[in-house]
Amino acid sequence: MSKTIAGFSKLSKEQKIDWLANTHFVNQKEAKAILKQYWNTNDKLQKLHDEFIENTITNYYLPLGVAPNFLINNKLYTIPMAIEESSVVAAASKAAKFWLDRGGFKTEVISTTKIGQVHFIYKGDFNKLEQYFQHIKSALFEDTKSITANMEKRGGGILDIELRNKTEDIENYYQLHASFETLDAMGANFINSCLEQFAKTFKANALEFELFTAEEKDIDIIMSILSNYVPNCIVKAEVSCHVDELSENNKISGKAFAEKFVQAVSIAEKEPYRAVTHNKGIMNGIDAVVLATGNDFRAIEACVHAYASRNGQYSSLTHAKIENDIFRFWIEIPLALGTVGGLTSLHPLVKLGLELLDKPSAKELMQIVAVAGLAQNFAALRSLTTTGIQQGHMKMHLMNILNQFEATDTEKKRLVEHFKTNTVTHSAVVEALNNLR
């Protein structure tokens, strides 16, 4: 049977599934059953999910967990986290509990500016283009009034528009570089609508600008689009305490732990191979909360990693130091988030997650998400510099291995008890399960 098909998008969901099962799967009945078992029994809710994207055939579930005991600026939070990776929620919860008794997390939003650009080609005198930009700039604002009116009522809108000469990079290439404040909205649709109007106004009025030659009037708009790189939409989160307060056991003193911890962060600041894994751990916490609150984790990931490379080498997003026996650990990170619009008003679990967080503003959500990343990183570095990462991670992974081999409830109970005092590895679990059987 051919694997190509015309008009697939016009088929019903049942027809799509029938074609997929008949074309791609050996056991067609089993494939159909798996796809359908993840349908929501509530038809209205399923229809809502079906309409989020195109060509939907079923739902793809991720576990939704919570990490309690987060004290942020003296307010307690229970943070929702949607993620499939073992130990992430447990690690965040453990870090939250650790810092709960040491003053909690302190956060501040440093800036919230977002960026959009109109990219265009102009073949002419740059001095004339500058004069034209100054001539047309007020019209760029004026022609977007219908788009910006509601945003401006709430205190947001277009902050500024600049003309940027990029001809050193690409011949005849220029930008309109615009900055925006979008308040509680992530703002992608708002920004893109403004940019497209800028482009129309900029191109149309060039035809009437008397200083331009015929060729110079022909401004070629390449594209108008927001940037997911937001280096001026920054939030900071921090923890600190006396080094003596860091000791939880007799195996290592608080000061020795702090020194080792700072060295581990320093390595991630200088060594890209380590920094990537270090920052991936931070994103374990961040992505989980971003997903649970209906935000765009791909945009967050792209921006964060670009930011980590802003000085010419990929580096750690977190930093640590000891001064006068005070240990400080902090993160400064760009996060463009929204609490209105998109899935935040559509997905029932997203709405529940935001209510769990006491219906935060976008600024408050930035702070919560940054704290989740910092907590995750603290937990990972504490394990790495003391017991090693595998001890805790593999114990959390134990249940996944047992489920992979279809262990019964009795087998799970006995093996969980067995591995309380034995090292968890995949081979060790398989061997113990075979011995038990």
Q: What is the CATH number of domain 114-227?
A: 3.30.70.420
Q: Which of 123, 135, 270, 280 does the annotation list as catalytic?
A: 280
Place of tokens 């049977």: 1
* Torsion, CA 350, CA 354, CA 355, CA 356, rounded to 10: 100
Q: Which of 85, 108, 332, 411 does the annotation list as catalytic?
A: 85
Q: Which of 114, 296, 364, 397 does the annotation list as catalytic?
A: 296
Q: Which segments in the chain show pLDDT lower than 50? A: none
Dist. CA 137–CA 143, nearest whole Å? 10
CA 301 → CA 18, 204, 295, 333, distances in Å?
Answer: 36, 37, 11, 11
Contact 331, 283 (CB under 8 A): no
- Residue 402: what pLDDT? 83
Q: DSSP readout, 166-232?
A: -TTTSTTEEEEEEEEE-TTB--HHHHHHHHHHHHHHHHHHHTT-TTS-HHHH--EEEEEEEES--TT
- Residue 86: what pLDDT? 85
- Residue 413: what pLDDT? 83
Counting Cα atoms < 13 Å in the Cβ hemisphere of 191 gives: 27
- Residue 394: what pLDDT? 60
- Neighbouring CB atoms inside 10 A of 92's CB total 31
Place of tokens 């992530």: 186
Q: Is 216 a catalytic residue?
A: no
- Residue 179: what pLDDT? 98
- Residue 425: what pLDDT? 78
Q: Is 85 a catalytic residue?
A: yes
Distance of CA 272 to the CA centre of its chain: 21
- In the chain, domain spans: 8-50, 64-109+232-387, 114-227, 393-436
CATH topology for 64-109+232-387 is 3.90.770
- Residue 391: what pLDDT? 54
Q: Is 296 a catalytic residue?
A: yes
Give the pairing type, strands 106-109 and 114-121: unpaired
In the chain, pLDDT over 90 holds for what percent of residues? Answer: 84
Percentages (nearest 5) of helix, strand, coil residues in the chain: 50, 20, 30
CA 239 → CA 62, 374, 386, distances in Å?
Answer: 30, 9, 19
- Residue 405: what pLDDT? 83
Nearest CA to 89 out of 279, 248, 297, 292 is that of 292
- Residue 6: what pLDDT? 94
Q: Is 280 a catalytic residue?
A: yes
Dist. CA 379–CA 310, nearest whole Å? 26
